Structure 1
Amino acid sequence: MLDLKFIRKNLDVVRESVARRRAKVDVDAFTGLDERRRALIAEAEVLKAERNTVSKDIGKRKKAGEDAADLVSRMGEVGDRIKSLDEELRQVDAEVRDWLESVPNIPHESVVDGNDDADNPEVFRWGAKPEFDFTPKEHYELGANLDGLDFERGAKLAGSRFVVYRGWAARLERALASFMLDVQTLEHGYKEIMPPVIVNTETMTATGQLPKFAEDLFKLEGTDYYLIPTAEVPVTNLHREETIAEDELPLKYTAWTPCFRSEAGSYGKDTKGLIRMHQFQKVEMVRFEKPEDSFAALEEMREHAENILKKLGLHYRVVTLCTGDLGFSATKTYDLEVWLPGQDKFREISSCSNCMDFQARRGGIRFKRKGAKKAELVHTLNGSGLAVGRTLVAVLENYQQADGSIVIPEVLRPYMGGLEVLKSE
């Protein structure tokens, strides 16, 4: 959420930001709401001042034995009007809050203008495309042939965009997650968290999923509970309405959780395979930083995500998201895209974002510098380290052999009990 005082002083900046993002926000509506709010407050203050003055006059008349009926009548009218103004002010405040919650974060000055992912500039590329002397298959065919990915039973149990992992595939998914957690905790200093995967409305609102993206979420019927779309949601909310001591920063967390997304608006996209599932697993990184450190932390977080891909020997590239593709809460985002030979294209496998104080303001997450009188909002960052299912996809497609077997990357073999090759028995 943007700062209300900042918006009042910089409405043109907000208007430009909304336009650059191609967002559907009526910026001028704020002016009308804010003017109405100020008018209500001003009238109420005048009436409350009158009430205070006249109340004293009533007391004086009664003390002197004089009739005060006219003043009492007037105060009845004033009281009713103040009550009406207070109620109207509550309604306007709610409308202002709703409007504020609909406004996306302002893009960082380094973010380029663009309409969608086609306009995202590439900033880095690592490794080389694997070469095959055969036509590489897509992961869902490889997984089915090796009896590891069962989409038919997934559909029977839950519906489309679900899968059952069997045998080696279940173990490989677990191995990838364990490997990622070990790298992030042991090498990069993140503290592992195992949060709830069901959260309430307040938690979803603080990180920006609600109210704007309600249709993308799974809500538990008849409750105030939602299934999380990413561990960013509960982990960022660990410190909601808290003030962190300066010497505790930075805070670096990582969590491996299932994630649930309705994939609203993705009808017809990636209907085969693991790329776009309703339920998937992800290892997430979340950081709380002092404002002056957050952009350096973004670069470091990106490196930590890239490190996983490098250790797995997977060809990838890094792009920065343009204004039209930037997430609602982010001011700047890097996407890591891994090469998938079966699809003959790069596909996103991680997003690393700096939200600055946008989420912290919504969630009341502050820190206090030594000797300072007032607390400040922290900057929050989040990044996939990595999406586990998509990493499994990348391993299958990049390490496939002509006979349909899959060579297991060396770094994963200790997690697979020393197994080197997945093959038909």
Structure 2
Amino acid sequence: MSQYGLANGGLRTCDEPRDSVAAHLEFTPPTNGQKDPTHHQTDNNFTRTTAFPSFVPEAPNVANMLDVFDFIVEKGGNPEQIKESQRRRYAPEEVVDEVIALYEDHRKTQYSATQVNTKINEIQKQIGAKKKAKEDASELMAQKIELEKEKKAKIELAGEKDVALKKKIATIGNIVHESVPVHNNEDNNVELRKWAPEGFSVEKRDVLSHHEVLTRLDGYDPERGVKVVGHRGYFLRNWGVFLNQAMINYGLEFLSERGYTALQAPQFMLKEYMAKTAQLEQFDEELYKVVDGDAQNDKYLIATSEQPISAFHADEWIMNKELPIKYAGFSTCYRREAGSHGRDAWGIFRVHQFEKVEQFVLTDPEKSWEAFEDMITVSEDFYKSLGVPYRVAAIVSGALNNAAAKKYDLEAWFPFQGEYKELVSCSNCTDYQSRALEIRFGNKLQTDVKKKYVHALNSTLCATERALCCLLENFQTEDGFTVPEPLRKYLPGAPDFIPFTKELPKDSTSQKAKAKAEKSGKVASAVAGGAAAVTEKLKDLST
């Protein structure tokens, strides 16, 4: 194995991951005639540094989601493309210029550190020669001590600038795909297609809300849930438990039959890895922190199995023949829903704890967009098999999370509210997450001049409690709930129908909605009648 390194500066193998920006930069000297102590090798229009100071500290726990060279024209980068992507996201484009400025500042500081290190090496040689000749080397040793202090200061400064550069890059989202509709309002999401079972009428109906159906099935207890847990707490019971488990089992089997490997994910993660797959704002709005006594490593409860599964292959090198890798992830998920106060407060549609079956795929970059379409098709086929009406929408650029280059939502029909609501989110994150997590692919060759990262994609199959809400509204009858055929074999007794066993309280949601509608109708009728009377009066006056 060949090695590259500065004399007396430590060695690093060329196969080792260069995680820090510090190890990723060339040290191009100022144009003052001085010789650069590093050597650069150019191949296939890419430049790599075959010697760099391994004594420069790496930025801890700050992941690069984008390659720093993507910002630098001289390195083959295209900063204008990143600026255009930022404009599409309705995000500040000036941050790109800030990254470039930080890069240049950091590069100069590192080069300065290499110069000092070179001087130290030269003086060390002189000291050796003096000692060999049995001459006094005290003056040279004093110079070396001062230079060592200077070197230490420059290394610390370079480390600080490395952290600042990485943190700035981490604020920038993935490059938005050219096909994404550009807008900053999700009301302008582009509907791609709709589906409903033959003969099914997609219209608002006078039916029970999903939580009322679950109440009549004696399927959950929200009052005791709130008492024990607090806001949005609940207990599933009886048929609520069995139906939820049926959704989990059917979802896992559905994906397994399509070549996915089932993977039950841990329910919490180290902050180090969570930071490489979750956005900073998610820590405040979504994630629960785990307090573990005097433990030094912070942990967070997962908001989706995508998070731990994305880290499953962290720091690994995957062979081409192994791709694509497809996982059917399952986990309990936890979300604070800090930004959702008052939204979907009924039942179990939007809660702090729920189960989810997730698609997660690692693939060759050249095949990721094909995989993206395949994944949303799998989700569509799942809901078709259950007989659920839905539509698929392309999400506008301003609503994309940082990791996604493009996203589709599958929204299912809820007849009580008379609207489509999100059940599935399908995203192609390209190499945004895999770069941060160092998930590479291809054959390891010494001639490789640029790392190759897999593309990571994720798509909900079913957040089971939320999907169950949709089934309850669509398949209720006056007497109970008609079980979709694929779920029956997972239920005790394999029933095709579950009868209601409880009555609703007098102030139930549907009764309130009906009373409100009747009141609105009476008001509208009175207004119309009043207007007609005024019109007749005016006619009389005119004659």
TM-score by length of 1: 0.94
Establish whether residue 115 from structure 1 lines up as the match of residue 184 from structure 2.
Answer: yes
1:37 aligns with: 106
Instruction: Report if the CA contact (8 A) 1:205-1:362 is conserved.
Output: no
Q: Which deviations, in whole Å up to 9, do the C-alpha atoms of 1:28-55 show, x marking residues without a partner?
A: 3323321220111121122122222222
Establish whether residue 203 from structure 1 lines up as the match of residue 273 from structure 2.
Answer: yes
Instruction: Report if the CA contact (8 A) 1:246-1:370 is conserved.
Output: no
Q: How far, CA to CA, are the matches of 2:186 and 2:365 in structure 1?
A: 28
2:82 aligns with: 14
1:388 aligns with: 464
Query: Kindly tell me: are residues 373 and 66 of structure 1, through their superposed partners in 2, closer, same or farther at Cα, counting changes over 3 Å?
Result: closer
Instruction: Report if the CA contact (8 A) 2:196-2:390 is conserved.
Output: yes
| More moved, 53-62 vs 233-242 | 53-62
Instruction: Report if the CA contact (8 A) 2:204-2:417 is conserved.
Output: no
Taking the TM superposition and a 5 Å limit, the aligned residue runs for 1:164-179 are 164-179=235-250
CA apart distance, 1:273:
2.0
Identity percentage over the alignment?
36
Q: Give the 3-state SS of the residue equivalent to 1:265 in structure 2.
A: coil
Taking the TM superposition and a 5 Å limit, the aligned residue runs for 1:110-189 are 110-127=179-196, 130=201, 135-186=206-257, 188-189=258-259
CA apart distance, 1:67:
4.1
The code of the aligned residue for 1:161 comes to R
1:254 aligns with: 328
| More moved, 89-98 vs 64-73 | 64-73
Q: How far, CA to CA, are the matches of 1:74 and 1:44 in structure 2?
A: 16
The code of the aligned residue for 2:441 comes to F
CA apart distance, 1:212:
4.1
Q: Which deviations, in whole Å up to 9, do the C-alpha atoms of 1:42-90 show, x marking residues without a partner?
A: 2112212222222222333444454444333322221111100001111
Q: How far, CA to CA, are the matches of 1:97 and 1:289 in structure 2?
A: 26
| More moved, 54-63 vs 409-418 | 54-63
Query: Kindly tell me: are residues 269 and 35 of structure 1, through their superposed partners in 2, closer, same or farther at Cα, counting changes over 3 Å?
Result: same
Instruction: Report if the CA contact (8 A) 1:253-1:287 is conserved.
Output: yes
2:511 aligns with: none
TM-score by length of 2: 0.74
Q: How far, CA to CA, are the matches of 1:389 and 1:36 in structure 2?
A: 51
Instruction: Report if the CA contact (8 A) 1:21-1:324 is conserved.
Output: yes
2:372 aligns with: 298
CA apart distance, 1:256:
2.0
2:423 aligns with: 349
Q: How far, CA to CA, are the matches of 1:127 and 1:276 in structure 2?
A: 24
Establish whether residue 3 from structure 1 lines up as the match of residue 102 from structure 2.
Answer: no
Establish whether residue 221 from structure 1 lines up as the match of residue 291 from structure 2.
Answer: yes
Q: Give the 3-state SS of the residue equivalent to 1:123 in structure 2.
A: strand
| More moved, 165-174 vs 194-203 | 194-203
Instruction: Report if the CA contact (8 A) 1:101-1:211 is conserved.
Output: no
| More moved, 11-20 vs 366-375 | 366-375
CA apart distance, 1:133:
10
Q: How far, CA to CA, are the matches of 2:343 and 2:417 in structure 1?
A: 14
Q: Give the 3-state SS of the residue equivalent to 1:324 in structure 2.
A: helix
Query: Kindly tell me: are residues 382 and 390 of structure 1, through their superposed partners in 2, closer, same or farther at Cα, counting changes over 3 Å?
Result: same
Instruction: Report if the CA contact (8 A) 1:139-1:273 is conserved.
Output: yes
Taking the TM superposition and a 5 Å limit, the aligned residue runs for 1:87-98 are 87-98=156-167
2:382 aligns with: 308
Query: Kindly tell me: are residues 165 and 331 of structure 1, through their superposed partners in 2, closer, same or farther at Cα, counting changes over 3 Å?
Result: same
The code of the aligned residue for 1:38 comes to R
1:422 aligns with: 498
Q: Give the 3-state SS of the residue equivalent to 2:435 in structure 1.
A: helix
The number of aligned residues is 422
The code of the aligned residue for 1:230 comes to T
Taking the TM superposition and a 5 Å limit, the aligned residue runs for 1:41-52 are 41-52=110-121
Bigger radius of gyration among the two: 2
Instruction: Report if the CA contact (8 A) 1:130-1:398 is conserved.
Output: no
2:504 aligns with: none
The code of the aligned residue for 1:6 comes to D
Q: How far, CA to CA, are the matches of 2:380 and 2:205 in structure 1?
A: 29
1:269 aligns with: 343
Q: How far, CA to CA, are the matches of 2:379 and 2:443 in structure 1?
A: 30
Instruction: Report if the CA contact (8 A) 1:249-1:290 is conserved.
Output: yes
Q: How far, CA to CA, are the matches of 2:453 and 2:441 in structure 1?
A: 6
Query: Kindly tell me: are residues 132 and 217 of structure 1, through their superposed partners in 2, closer, same or farther at Cα, counting changes over 3 Å?
Result: closer
CA apart distance, 1:413:
1.6
The code of the aligned residue for 2:485 comes to E
Query: Kindly tell me: are residues 24 and 172 of structure 1, through their superposed partners in 2, closer, same or farther at Cα, counting changes over 3 Å?
Result: farther
Q: Give the 3-state SS of the residue equivalent to 2:398 in structure 1.
A: coil
CA apart distance, 1:354:
0.9
The code of the aligned residue for 1:386 comes to C
Structure 1 alignment gaps of length 5 or more: none
Establish whether residue 194 from structure 1 lines up as the match of residue 268 from structure 2.
Answer: no
Query: Kindly tell me: are residues 63 and 203 of structure 1, through their superposed partners in 2, closer, same or farther at Cα, counting changes over 3 Å?
Result: closer
Query: Kindly tell me: are residues 155 and 24 of structure 1, through their superposed partners in 2, closer, same or farther at Cα, counting changes over 3 Å?
Result: farther
CA apart distance, 1:196:
1.2
Q: Which deviations, in whole Å up to 9, do the C-alpha atoms of 1:260-312 show, x marking residues without a partner?
A: 01112111211222221111111001111011111101111111111111001
Q: Which deviations, in whole Å up to 9, do the C-alpha atoms of 1:334-368 show, x marking residues without a partner?
A: 11000000111000001111111111101111112
CA apart distance, 1:370:
8.6
| More moved, 224-233 vs 61-70 | 61-70
1:59 aligns with: 128
Q: How far, CA to CA, are the matches of 1:146 and 1:392 in structure 2?
A: 13
Instruction: Report if the CA contact (8 A) 2:127-2:141 is conserved.
Output: yes
Q: Give the 3-state SS of the residue equivalent to 1:238 in structure 2.
A: coil
Instruction: Report if the CA contact (8 A) 2:204-2:419 is conserved.
Output: no
Structure 2 alignment gaps of length 5 or more: 1-64, 502-543
Query: Kindly tell me: are residues 337 and 308 of structure 1, through their superposed partners in 2, closer, same or farther at Cα, counting changes over 3 Å?
Result: same
CA apart distance, 1:126:
0.7
